[in-house]
Amino acid sequence: MERVCVITGGAAGIGRCIVETFAEKGYKVYFIDKSTIEIRWLEDKMQARGYSVMGFEGDIAEEETLKDFADFVLSMEEQIDCLINNACLTNGGILGDCSYDEFLYVQRVGVVAPYFLSLLFKNYFTGAGSIVNISSTRAFQSQANTESYTAAKGGITALTHALAVSLSGITRVNSIAPGWIDTGSYHSESYLPDYSDADVLQHPSRRVGDPDDIARVALFLCDERNSFVNGENITVDGGMSKLMIYHNDAGWTLQP
């Protein structure tokens, strides 16, 4: 029986890479996004190559959309194996006067939707099921004026270990915290990266991240052979968040 994977924010960026990677590994993939054009393009591309990929249009900040998406999947599947909560966005933060509604919208997409989809699919996971939440290194460190996004990523990181405990025996729950992942090629087919030496050297791994780096970890977490990994957050940032830099250190100078 084909394994079934459900993905949010799957039409572009890291989400699209995950859709393509899981389909190529033999999963039946269902994904949701807001862009009709990108959904249809990805469906046509993958189905033309013989893969089972089906998209659904909707805004996951809305409860009815989440219910409709779950019904869409469950109208064709009796059970699912993986739920990957990838979708999020930013509305800036306190220095840009991010409003109450703007801040709340990001939390609805980045925290509430993953919780509610986990609830909707709770009774349909196989015994070796897996939920993977896409967090961010911004859950642990920040730039100025990022409060809406940072709060959502902090929330989904904490939600991960809470769900892992509550869903014991039902499904495993883990998160991935990407660092700098260049998603340009998953937004435009003609994209060409252009990095400075500093962009590369600030990573101990000596390169900027690629969406494939995240998709491979998601595959690992969804592999039932790795069932002893549960409630964990895996940081995938080329070591950047471990590199301690001071003024006049490593060629870096603070200019206040």
CB atoms inside a 10 Å sphere around CB 125 = 21
Contact 86, 22 (CB under 8 A): no
Report d(CA 229, CA 215) in Å as an integer. 17
Give the 3-state DSSP-derived string for 3-23, with helices as H, strands as E and coil as C.
Answer: CEEEEECCCCHHHHHHHHHHH
Amino acid in position 203: H
How far, in Å, CA of 43 to CA of 55, rounded?
7
Pick from 73, 81, 77, 79: which is nearest to 129 by CA? Answer: 81
Catalytic residues, which ones? Answer: 149
Give me the phi and psi of 249, to 5 degrees please. -110, 140
Q: 137: burial class by Cβ within 10 Å (0-12, 13-18, 19+)?
A: middle
